[in-house]
Every structure is written in C-alpha cells, then in structure tokens.
C-alpha cells in the first residue's frame, strides 16, 4: 500500500480507497459514464475511454501497465501488473530520449512491442473475444494506448482510463477532503470514534479484534505498513484483517489516534482535523509492565532477532543522545528485552506521543473522552470489546457520556 504526493502532503490511496467509495456513491454517480473515441492514424480502430476512475468494477480486469516499482508504490484496487516497460527500461529510454527524441521513441516502441507479444501468448492466451479490460498507465498515454490498440485490433474490447493513475489519485484526494471535511457539515464522516493511548496500550491489537467482529475500522498504521519506528516491519507478524474498500458513512467508524506522520508518511490536514474533532476512547494500561508485556507478545519474533533489533536501534538512535542509544544497545546485547522496551517507552515513544497529543489532538471537551482501564489480561478478553462498543455508543449517541470505564479481568 502506498502514498500519494499531494502538494506537500502525502496521503494514502489504499487507506482511503475505503473512504472514496462513499464519495463515489454520493458524488460520482452524478458523473455520466460516457466514453469517447480516440481516432488513430492509418487504422479504423477506436479506443473506448473511461472517465470515472472509480468505475473499475464494471470491467472484467483492471490492468496496470506501469513499471513494477510504480505498481508497488500504489495501484487501483484489484489491478494486475502487466508492465510494458521494466524499471531499467524506463530509465534507459529516458536517457536515450534526452539525447534524441526519435531514438528514444524507437527504443521504447521496440521494448513495448516485444512485451505485448509476450503477453499475447501468456496472459491473454485464454481470454475470450468478449474480454473487457480497463487499462491504465500514469496519465492514460502511450503505454496504455499501445496495449489497447493491439487488443482492439485482435477483437477484444479494451478501455483506457482517461487520465490514468494520476486521475485516480486526484479523485482519492478530493474524496478524502470531501468525506473528512475540515468542519461539519462539509465532511460526511460524522460518526468516527478515535482509539487513543500510549504505545503498548493495545490500540492496534484491539482495532484488529474489532475488525474481525465486523466493525468498520480504518487502521492507518496497517495501511501504511508501519508499526512504529522500531517495530514497524516485523516479517513474522501475521497479516492484518483486510479492510473493506467501502465505508458506510452513516455507521460508526473506528480510527486510531496518530501523529500527523506515520513513519515517513504525512496525513492530510482534513484527516488530522477529523481525528482532532472526533470523540475518543483513551486506553490506559494499569502499569508500564502491562504495556511492556503486550509489546513483547506482539513483536516477540522481532526482539528475538538480535542483529535486526540492533540495526533498528541504531536507526532510532539518530534522534537521541549517544548515552541513551548506548543504554538501549547494552540491554539488547544482554538479552534483557523487558528492560529495553521500558527504556524505549520512557526515552522515545511516550514523549513522542505526548508531544503529538498536545500539539494536534488535545481534546478540550472532557465530556467527549472516555477513559478505559485495562491490563495485559483484560486486553485479550471478550468483555473489553463489549466495553469498547458501549463506550462508543455512549460517546456518539448519549448527551452526557460517562467519563471512565474499568474493565474487570475475566
């Protein structure tokens, strides 16, 4: 899942493909799904063009012909990558084009023609004549039309996404701003509840459990493939429950309280505003030991890999003094993982969270905050999910929600 450059702000399309379908339902249904023809010289073919970037479900297959790295960065939901140019090809053609546009175009045509020939004998070998793919590249230009023209000449029914991936990106950004909105009633996401708490309080874990029960959850960390600057890429961590590509804006949505940045990614201001103004449930662990135990449970496979752990600590240590980093490395080398996690929480994560909360997410109306006490045992109970839903309903639907709930260990 990838992030999009929008001015100085990076937003995630996959994170907000969830959101954009609401925009599609309310706004883009007004957009006629007309198509128009692009005439090509020296042949009688015409290529249908799709103007609605969110209409991908109307086609048999969505084909992304961009390079593998472009596709990995982000793509339309459900798209398959059939790159007409590899990453190396694109760079070589660009250099050649800079010297001679004619030679660059000739080289590009040669590479693309060979690739299309390969695809006809593999990917398209079993496609019937009524096959209707939606094809896109970066701007809906030469790459997508090159494949579409050949498929059309054969007898298939290809359509090119007008404006390509860039048009899709613009719709996602617009959908996000329309849905979140800086102030109601501009935004449609009016029943959001934010789960807040210090690192290790179980926010992400509880969101995963809620999602498995069918609750609407937007897990920003999961969508950013990030779990904190140190624990962010545990290769043995199980896959998260898939997040639906559509949200019902009239039903409650769970969000996690985040900084304006997740790793190297920045949230758009409209989403930051939604997080800041939404009611929240503040998770409070009964002790630091409970948080440490929970973190070790969640990231045990990572902390057991000493070399990888030290590599991560060195990266994180750039933001701290040498003595602080030395204390972390000493605990890691000694295999004292509980001590290491205690140090990381005290030196890095807790100050970072409190700074972010004061700066961006401080809720002045205490009536819109419910505090939920829990420990390393209650976090795994069914009762805590019941309590979370009760707290959510109290915040969203009660005029005077209660301020604190304690979950008993069961």
User: Measured between alpha carbons, how far apart are the two ends of the chain, in Å?
Assistant: 38
Q: Are 275 and 291 in contact (CB under 8 A)?
A: no
Cα 280 versus chain centre, distance: 22
Res. 143: pLDDT tops 60: yes
This prediction's pTM: 0.60
Please give the average per-residue pLDDT across 151-167, as a whole number.
95
What is the reported pLDDT for 120?
Answer: 96
According to the model, what pLDDT value does residue 37 have?
A: 34
Q: State residue 342's pLDDT score.
A: 95
Give the pLDDT confidence score for residue 266 in this predicted structure: 67
Which residues of the chain form CATH 3.40.50? Answer: 183-406
pLDDT at 129 over 70: yes
Q: If you average pLDDT over residues 191-220, what whole number do you get?
A: 89
- Widest CA span in the chain: 77
What is the pLDDT at residue 260? 67
Percentage of residues of the chain with pLDDT beyond 90: 43
Task: Say if residues 264 and 177 touch (Cβ distance below 8 Å).
Answer: no
Q: What is the pLDDT at residue 275?
A: 78
| CA-derived radius of gyration, the chain | 25
**How many Å apart are CA 107 and CA 94, to the nearest integer?**
10
pLDDT at 229: 44
Say what percent of the chain tops pLDDT 70: 69
Q: Supply the DSSP string of 165-191, one letter for each residue.
A: HHHHHHHHHHHHHHHH-SSTTS-S--S
Residue 113's nearest CA partner among 72, 143, 70 is 143
pLDDT, position 406: 42
Q: Of 255, 101, 118, 111, give the one whose Cα is nearest residue 179.
A: 255
Q: How far is CA 104 from CA 91, 118, 201, in A?
A: 11, 22, 56
3-170 adopts what CATH topology?
Oxidized Rhodanese; domain 1 (3.40.250)
Looking at residues 51-62, what average pLDDT do you find? 93
* pLDDT score for 125: 95
Residue 149 has pLDDT above 80, yes or no: yes
- 92 has a pLDDT exceeding 90: yes
Structure confidence by residue, pLDDT tens digits, 302-349: 666 777 788 888 888 888 999 999 999 999 888 898 999 999 999 999
Q: In this predicted structure, what is the pLDDT of residue 13?
A: 41
User: Residue 5's pLDDT is what?
Assistant: 34
Q: Are 18 and 243 in contact (CB under 8 A)?
A: yes
Higher pLDDT, 35 or 49: 49
Locate CATH 3.40.250.10 in the chain.
3-170
Say whether pLDDT at 166 is over 90.
Answer: yes
Question: Looking at domain 183-406, which of 2.60.40, 1.10.12, 3.30.70, 3.40.50 is its CATH number?
Answer: 3.40.50
pLDDT tops 60 at residue 410: no
Is residue 381 scored above 50 in pLDDT?
yes
Lowest mean pLDDT among 17-26, 44-53, 174-183, 210-219: 17-26
């Amino acid at each position: 899942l990838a992030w999009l450059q929008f001015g100085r702000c990076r937003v995630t399309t996959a994170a907000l493909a969830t959101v954009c379908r609401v925009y599609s339902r309310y706004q883009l249904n007004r957009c006629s799904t007309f198509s128009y023809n692009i005439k090509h010289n020296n042949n009688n073919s015409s290529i249908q063009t799709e103007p609605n970037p969110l209409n991908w479900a109307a086609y048999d297959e969505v084909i992304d012909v961009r390079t593998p790295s472009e596709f990995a960065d982000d793509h339309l939901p459900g798209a398959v990558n059939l790159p007409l140019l590899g990453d190396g090809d694109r760079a070589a053609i660009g250099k050649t084009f800079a010297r001679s546009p004619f030679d660059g175009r000739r080289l590009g045509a040669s590479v693309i023609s060979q690739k299309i020939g390969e695809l006809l004998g593999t990917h398209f070998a079993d496609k019937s004549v009524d096959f209707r793919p939606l094809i896109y590249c970066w701007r809906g230009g030469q790459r997508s039309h090159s494949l579409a023209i050949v498929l059309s000449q054969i007898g298939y029914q290809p359509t090119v996404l007008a404006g390509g991936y860039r048009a899709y990106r613009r719709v996602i950004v617009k959908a996000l701003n329309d849905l979140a909105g800086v102030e109601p009633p501009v935004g449609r996401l009016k029943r959001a509840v934010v789960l807040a708490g210090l690192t290790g309080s179980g926010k992400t874990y509880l969101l995963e459990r809620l999602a498995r029960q069918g609750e609407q959850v937007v897990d920003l960390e999961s969508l950013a493939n990030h779990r904190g600057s140190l624990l962010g890429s545990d290769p043995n961590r199980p896959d998260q429950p898939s997040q639906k590509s559509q949200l019902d804006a009239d039903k409650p949505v769970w969000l996690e309280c985040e900084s304006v940045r997740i790793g190297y990614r920045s949230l758009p201001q409209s989403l930051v505003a939604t997080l800041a103004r939404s009611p929240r449930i503040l998770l409070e662990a009964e002790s630091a030991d409970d948080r440490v135990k929970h973190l070790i449970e969640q990231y045990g496979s990572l902390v057991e890999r000493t070399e990888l752990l030290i590599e991560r600590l060195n990266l994180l240590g750039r933001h701290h003094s040498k003595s602080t980093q030395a204390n972390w490395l000493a605990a890691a080398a000694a295999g004292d993982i509980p001590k290491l996690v205690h140090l990381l929480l005290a030196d890095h994560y807790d100050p970072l969270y409190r700074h972010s909360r004061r700066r961006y997410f401080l809720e002045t109306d205490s009536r819109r905050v419910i505090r939920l006490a829990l420990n390393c045992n209650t976090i795994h109970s069914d009762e805590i999910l019941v309590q979370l839903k009760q707290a959510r309903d109290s915040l969203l639907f009660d005029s005077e929600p209660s301020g604190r709930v304690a979950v008993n260990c069961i």
